[in-house]
């Protein structure tokens, strides 16, 4: 069995999570979430954070017990059975490949409106090549990108803090279902810590590093998100925020600091790059793990002797993302990805419920709440996303059944 080299420490793992969460969330999720939850956006954020915390606890305990590439794909197979592990991995790869396309298109839209697809393909090609060069180079790039984005976000919060108190509960009337839909959209922004678990086979001392890195990354992200939500509501209000195409840039302009808007746009493009970098890294590791178990073609089960990375899996993911970039719509990619991510974490929580005390079982109400929360938030997503997600998982089950019948002795 081919294996990866353990090179990454706690800081590297935290940076991977931050670059995925912050890149996807701040620049992509607040406007559609505000369109659903209105002035109750902070409540939606709290709900999303609670579900994410439950998922983080479950994922951290499982990652410490099973420190190998694949994340919930591995946990589901070990704790629930082969089918559930396969479906988790299938959902992660398909959903996160869509996330890659969304982040690439976001980058292109901020840098060169009207030419976003071409620039998105260039970005995917460049970052895939960076990952192929070795994970150390990827970590260095992630550190630079996430540091720059955090500086931009802090500047926006500082400028926007003079915009007045947040408009909590304002705007059109919303229902509890609308608030939950806002939470489901915001959960998309918290999903980056899965990248830490999928890198489990490349982390030094994973039983100690992963349980530390996941809550650190999640806490930093939540603090930034909460401050940003209040800033956006204070400067724009619920209705204007919901209609914004570039909410952070519009917020600094509304606060009288229009000179900062170009910097924010550069920060948005940088965030999209950081998120795309981490996403390609994580999806390729799950692809590699599934190929190693022959749930995907064994051709992808290969590690580069020079760079020590799963080069065929990374190249395959890069090609798939480039094709999606040319074919999909940004809004549809985000909705579809959210459904896949929530199902993925539902399997993680269900897996954590099977842990015994001696295996580091979490406090039982946490995975129970996480499981229920994931399923509920998935149900609140727009109907086309739900139907498309269910269809893709049905196809996945058929693929698993077909491979099972073709090779009944395979693990």
The domain of 103 spans 10-400
Mutual orientation of helices 365-380 and 176-190 as an angle, nearest 10°?
110
Distance CA 280, CA 231 (A): 31
| pLDDT over threshold 90, residue 16 | no
pLDDT score recorded for residue 169: 53
Instruction: Confirm whether 135 is domain-assigned.
Output: yes
Mean pLDDT of 47-68: 86
Mean pLDDT of 263-279: 83
Dihedral of the CA atoms 201, 203, 204, 209 (nearest 10)?
A: -120
Q: What are phi and psi of 293, to 5 degrees?
A: -95, 10
User: In a 10 Å sphere around its CB, with 0-12 CB exposed, 13-18 middle and 19+ buried, how is residue 39 labelled?
Assistant: buried
Give 270's pLDDT tier (boundaries 50, 70, 90): confident
More confident residue, 2 or 184: 184
Instruction: Confirm whether 159 is domain-assigned.
Output: yes
| pLDDT over threshold 90, residue 25 | no
Dihedral of the CA atoms 337, 339, 345, 351 (nearest 10)?
A: -130
| pLDDT over threshold 70, residue 141 | no
Taking 3-state DSSP, the helix, strand and coil percentages for the chain, each rounded to the nearest 5, stand at 80, 0, 20
User: In a 10 Å sphere around its CB, with 0-12 CB exposed, 13-18 middle and 19+ buried, how is residue 150 labelled?
Assistant: middle
Q: pLDDT per residue over 105-135, tens digit each?
A: 888 877 777 788 899 899 899 888 887 876 5
Instruction: Confirm whether 409 is domain-assigned.
Output: no
Token digits of residue 364 = 């039982």
- CB count within 10 Å of CB 365 equals 9
Instruction: Confirm whether 5 is domain-assigned.
Output: no
Mean pLDDT of 149-165: 83
Percent of the chain with pLDDT over 70: 86
Please give the mean pLDDT across all residues of the chain.
Answer: 82
Instruction: Confirm whether 371 is domain-assigned.
Output: yes
Q: Which of 186, 98, 191 is nearest to 381 (CA)?
A: 186
Number of domains in the chain: 1
Mean pLDDT of 301-327: 81
Q: Which of 257, 220, 251 is nearest to 236 (CA)?
A: 251
Q: pLDDT per residue over 356-407, tens digit each?
A: 988 888 999 999 999 999 999 999 988 888 898 899 899 989 988 887 777 6
Distance CA 30, CA 231 (A): 11
Distance CA 180, CA 282 (A): 27
Token digits of residue 200 = 């489990």
User: In a 10 Å sphere around its CB, with 0-12 CB exposed, 13-18 middle and 19+ buried, how is residue 372 labelled?
Assistant: middle
pLDDT score recorded for residue 110: 74
Is the distance from CB of 233 to CB of 166 less than 8 angstroms? yes
pLDDT score recorded for residue 411: 45
Instruction: Confirm whether 2 is domain-assigned.
Output: no
Distance CA 347, CA 365 (A): 16
Mean pLDDT of 296-317: 77
Mean pLDDT of 153-169: 75
Q: Which of 158, 149, 151 is nearest to 23 (CA)?
A: 149
pLDDT score recorded for residue 227: 93
Distance CA 313, CA 102 (A): 20
Token digits of residue 353 = 């419920």
265: Cβ–Cβ under 8 A, 6 or more apart, which residues? 110, 246, 249
Q: Which of 133-147, 158-172, 191-205, 241-255 ranks highest by mean pLDDT? A: 241-255
pLDDT score recorded for residue 325: 87
192: Cβ–Cβ under 8 A, 6 or more apart, which residues? 16, 17, 18, 19, 20, 21, 22, 23, 24, 217, 221, 275, 278
Place of tokens 């080069």: 311
Give 197's pLDDT tier (boundaries 50, 70, 90): low
pLDDT score recorded for residue 265: 85
More confident residue, 316 or 1: 316
pLDDT score recorded for residue 165: 59
Instruction: Confirm whether 118 is domain-assigned.
Output: yes
Token digits of residue 79 = 């704790």
pLDDT score recorded for residue 212: 79
Is the distance from CB of 111 to CB of 266 less than 8 angstroms? no
| pLDDT over threshold 60, residue 3 | no
Residue 244 belongs to domain with CATH number: 1.20.1740.10
Residue 392: CA atoms inside 13 Å, Cβ hemisphere, count?
22
Instruction: Confirm whether 357 is domain-assigned.
Output: yes
């Amino acid at each position: 069995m081919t294996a990866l080299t353990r090179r990454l420490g706690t800081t590297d793992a935290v940076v991977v999570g931050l670059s995925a969460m912050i890149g996807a969330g701040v620049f992509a999720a607040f406007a559609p979430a505000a369109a659903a939850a209105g002035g109750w956006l902070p409540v939606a954020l709290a709900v999303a954070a609670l579900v994410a915390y439950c998922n983080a606890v479950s994922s951290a305990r499982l990652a410490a017990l099973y420190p190998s590439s694949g994340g919930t794909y591995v946990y589901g197979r070990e704790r629930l059975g082969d089918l559930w592990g396969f479906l988790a991995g299938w959902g992660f790869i398909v959903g996160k490949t869509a996330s890659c396309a969304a982040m690439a298109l976001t980058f292109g839209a901020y840098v060169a409106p009207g030419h976003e697809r071409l620039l998105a393909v260039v970005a995917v090609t460049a970052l895939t090549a960076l990952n192929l060069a070795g994970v150390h180079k990827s970590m260095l790039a992630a550190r630079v990108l996430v540091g720059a984005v955090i500086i931009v976000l802090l500047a926006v919060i500082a400028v926007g803090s003079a915009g007045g108190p947040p408009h909590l509960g304002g705007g059109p009337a919303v229902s509890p279902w609308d608030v939950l839909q806002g939470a489901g959209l915001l959960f998309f922004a918290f999903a980056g810590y899965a990248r830490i678990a999928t890198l489990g086979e490349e982390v030094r001392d994973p039983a100690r590093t992963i349980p530390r890195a996941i809550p650190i990354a999640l806490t930093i992200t939540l603090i930034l998100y909460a401050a940003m939500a209040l800033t956006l509501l204070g400067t724009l209000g619920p209705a204007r925020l919901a209609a914004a195409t570039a909410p952070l840039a519009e917020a600094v302009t509304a606060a009288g600091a229009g000179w900062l808007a170009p910097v924010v746009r550069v920060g948005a493009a940088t965030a999209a790059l950081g998120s795309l970098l981490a996403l390609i890294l994580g999806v390729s590791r799950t692809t590699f793990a599934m190929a190693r178990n022959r749930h995907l073609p064994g051709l992808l089960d290969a590690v580069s002797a020079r760079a020590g990375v799963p080069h065929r899996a990374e190249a395959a993911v890069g090609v798939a993302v480039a094709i999606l970039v040319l074919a999909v719509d940004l809004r549809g990619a985000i909705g579809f990805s959210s459904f896949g991510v929530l199902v993925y974490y539902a399997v993680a929580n269900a897996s954590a419920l099977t842990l015994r005390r001696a295996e580091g079982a979490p406090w039982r109400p946490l995975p129970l709440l996480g499981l229920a929360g994931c399923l509920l938030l998935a149900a609140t997503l727009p109907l086309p996303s739900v139907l498309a997600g269910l269809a893709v998982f049905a196809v996945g089950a058929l693929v698993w059944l077909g491979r099972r019948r073709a090779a009944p002795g395979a693990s």
